[in-house]
């Protein structure tokens, strides 16, 4: 029986004008088991259009009611049914006994999002949860970067996602596992904390010479903060 556990990998990042490329030194599938509670902002999006057509993505908690992810994960062309879709938080293994399920109230996609070539531009979105989160050791918001923060090949940066670790699962960097990680975070160490530098947009699942591409979070702070602060002001 295949199942999914949170896996982490150290990466090298390169700046490419508004986006980030990350060359994975150890792919997520071939990465390391993440200690429980190490990445408390990590979220899992389980999306469906009709209860049968399902897909999954990563995301990050950025406030008590908002999750940051990639716009391509929401795939409006597949007509997602948000009443049937869920966000899991506080989970280490994607099993019912270890997850908290949160309903989706609304989604906000950056107005400039579009497909371009084999990838995307402005690939960022917010998901609003129906209920507010109660923060704990295993559920907490990520720290966002400052607009002038810079990170590069000398920075200590990590990606996280739910790699398939079941005995019958795909262990060779296959597309399904990689697609399931899109929308997840690229975080880098800043002082004694981690900040989310990127949102995983697309990639080639660790193929040599073909880095994954991440949306640069610092370029979208106005977009993120507008909805989070607007929501708080309306309470």
CA distance 59 to 80: 17
Radius of gyration, CA atoms only, the chain = 16
Per residue in 98-136, pLDDT (tens digit) is: 668 899 999 999 999 999 888 899 999 999 999 999 999
Number of residues that this document lists for the chain: 235
CB 157 within 8 A of CB 188: yes
CA distance 20 to 15: 5
- Residue 189: CA count within 13 A, CB half-sphere: 11
Q: Where are the domains of the chain?
A: 4-233
CA distances to 5, 37, 59, 190 from 73, rounded to whole Å, are: 20, 24, 10, 28
Per residue in 88-102, pLDDT (tens digit) is: 998 887 765 566 889
Take residue 3 and report the two structure tokens written for it: 């199942």
CA distances to 51, 65, 127, 133, 209 from 130, rounded to whole Å, are: 20, 7, 10, 9, 41
| Residue-level pLDDT, tens digit, the chain, 235 residues | 345 667 776 666 655 445 676 654 433 545 577 778 889 999 999 999 987 788 889 999 999 999 999 999 998 888 899 999 999 998 887 765 566 889 999 999 999 999 988 889 999 999 999 999 999 999 999 999 999 888 877 788 888 888 655 544 544 443 333 666 789 998 998 988 999 999 998 876 655 556 678 899 999 999 999 999 876 666 5
What pTM value is reported for the model?
0.85
- Dihedral of alpha carbons 114, 49, 216, 182, sign: negative
If we measure between CA atoms, which residue out of 180, 213, 217 comes closest to residue 28?
180
Q: For the domain bounded by 4-233, which CATH number is listed? A: 2.40.10.10
CB 72 within 8 A of CB 118: no
Distance of alpha carbon 1 from the chain centroid: 25
């Amino acid at each position: 029986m295949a199942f999914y556990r949170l896996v982490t990998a150290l990466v090298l990042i390169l700046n490419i004008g508004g986006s980030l490329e990350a060359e994975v030194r150890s792919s997520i599938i071939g990465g390391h088991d993440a200690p429980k509670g190490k990445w408390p902002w990590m979220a899992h999006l389980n999306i469906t259009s009709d209860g049968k057509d399902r897909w999954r993505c990563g995301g990050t908690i950025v406030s008590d009611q908002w999750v940051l992810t990639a716009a391509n994960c929401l795939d409006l062309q597949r007509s997602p049914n948000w009443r049937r879709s869920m966000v899991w938080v506080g989970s280490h293994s994607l099993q019912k006994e270890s997850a908290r399920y949160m309903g989706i109230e609304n989604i906000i996609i950056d107005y400039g999002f579009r497909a371009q070539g084999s990838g995307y531009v402005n690939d960022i979105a917010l998901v609003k949860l129906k209920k507010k989160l109660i923060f704990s050791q295993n559920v907490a918001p990520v720290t966002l970067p400052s607009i002038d923060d810079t990170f590069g090949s000398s920075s200590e940066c990590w990606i996280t996602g739910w790699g398939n670790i079941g005995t019958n699962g795909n262990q060779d960097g296959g597309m399904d596992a990689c697609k399931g990680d899109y929308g997840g975070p690229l975080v880098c160490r800043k002082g004694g904390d981690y900040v989310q530098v990127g949102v995983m947009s697309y990639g080639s699942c660790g193929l040599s010479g073909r880095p994954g591409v991440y949306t640069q979070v610092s370029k979208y702070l106005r977009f993120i903060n507008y909805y989070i602060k607007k929501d708080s002001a309306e309470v």
